[in-house]
Structure 1
Amino acid sequence: MLSDGYHDVPKGKVATVVTHLEMLSRVETRDVPAPEGWRLTRIQTPTVPWYRAIYTSVGADWLWFGRMKLPDAEIDAVLSDPKLHVYTLQKDGTDGALLELDFRVDGECELVYFGLIPELIGTGAGRFLLNAAIDAAWSEPIKRFHVYTCTLDSPQALGFYRRSGFVPIRQKIEIADDPRLTFGYDRALAPHVPIFEP
């Protein structure tokens, strides 16, 4: 348990406040079309190279690193599980989103990853994609749909999830290696997060 007050973050690390949210029954959604020319596609057998590419395209600006630090065999084991559903938005051979739903806990669905390539932000694609996530999650026999977001993500993310029917239930502090220093990420990524050299 952290005591009140300030706490130094070790050099070479990033610290973030993580907010966990949940939805305990299906909410009504307002109909929003996909951006012109884009279609929602479930990737039935995602390959590790495809997954790494879309994960980076969507998440690098926000320092997503959880899956990138895993070896290929571990990612493949996760992606091969039939209870993990992976979707994207596609247009003319381009993938523009990552939506990952995890049904591996009975009665629950976790919205593990949700994001868009920069070109789709502000087009309504986020609302369309989250509506699809809500539909897909509650089409299964679940009692709880949950997600978390953190202060490395877009500052709009927490409000977006709350407006979509998710309720905050707890917060945590996460301290991790800065991926720009340890996982080979471009040091120019996430300029909103300072780098503290070790």
Structure 2
Amino acid sequence: MKSEFWDVPQGQIAAIVTHLQMFERPAPREIPEVDAELMAHRKPDLEWYRDLFMRVGGQDWMWFSRLGMADDELRAILHDAAVQIFSVRVNGRDVGVLELDFRTAGECELGYFGLTPAMVGTGAGRWLMEHALDRAWAEPITRFHVHTCTLDSPQALPFYVRSGFTAYARQVEIADDPRKIGVLPADSAPQLPIL
């Protein structure tokens, strides 16, 4: 068995990205009752979006791509009629995000999906995924896809597989460490040392 090591330059991070897809809506799963609402946000405020994005994935994990975007670039995505943004709201506070991207005809990408740490383990993930599946397959699509990486929660990949997605490709992504360029605070994702 052969293995190789690849150097990651100082100031950068590397992740293994797994791409997953499905071609039909899987059978609905039983979900626990969750005291939450799914709220649609048409043309969301960028400050609100970045705050939720940070609370869901930026502090504990390494969600950074949207945080480093210029306002015009981010607005072009979030305000596109083919992109649907939802939040999970509990007691008036947004504690989860769901982003469905229909910009490619016949497909939906699960752009972002996640919950704040306090919601993990409550059943809200299964509840949110059932909403995602219902909404994606309500449109005229033939493929629903998502990708996750090793900078995200280790629960993400097995969760997507349990939800009916099948892995089909793997890549290595190398990017500037967002903590070194000021996109994320230096104490974000402490499980990954800054080099």
Q: TM-score range by the shorter chain?
A: over 0.9
2:40 is aligned with 1:42: yes
2:68–2:183 CA contact under 8 A, matched in 1: no
2:102 is aligned with 1:103: yes
Distance 2:142 2:186 in 1: 41
Distance 1:124 1:156 in 2: 13
- Unaligned runs of 5+ residues in structure 1 are none
Equivalent position amino acid for 1:43 in 2: H
Aligned CA distance change for structure 1 residues 177 and 99 (closer, same or farther; 3 Å): same
- Unaligned runs of 5+ residues in structure 2 are none
**Residue matched to 1:30:** 29
**TM (normalized to structure 1)?**
0.94
Greater displacement, 119-128 / 175-184: 175-184
How far does the alpha carbon of each residue in 1:157-186 deviate from its partner, in whole angstroms, 9 at most, with x for none?
Answer: 111111111000000000001111113422
Distance 2:52 2:160 in 1: 22
Distance 2:33 2:135 in 1: 16
2:118 is aligned with 1:119: yes
Residue aligned with 1:136, SS: helix
**Residue matched to 1:55:** 53
State the shift of 1:143 in Å: 0.2
Aligned length: 193
Distance 2:48 2:15 in 1: 28
Equivalent position amino acid for 1:144 in 2: R
Equivalent position amino acid for 2:51 in 1: A
Runs of 4 or more above 6 Å deviation: none
**TM (normalized to structure 2)?**
0.95
Equivalent position amino acid for 1:121 in 2: V
How far does the alpha carbon of each residue in 1:42-68 deviate from its partner, in whole angstroms, 9 at most, with x for none?
Answer: 112211111111111111121111111
Distance 2:72 2:16 in 1: 30
2:16–2:150 CA contact under 8 A, matched in 1: yes
TM-align CA RMSD:
1.3
**Residue matched to 1:68:** 67
Distance 1:90 1:74 in 2: 26
**Residue matched to 1:81:** 80
Distance 1:183 1:138 in 2: 38
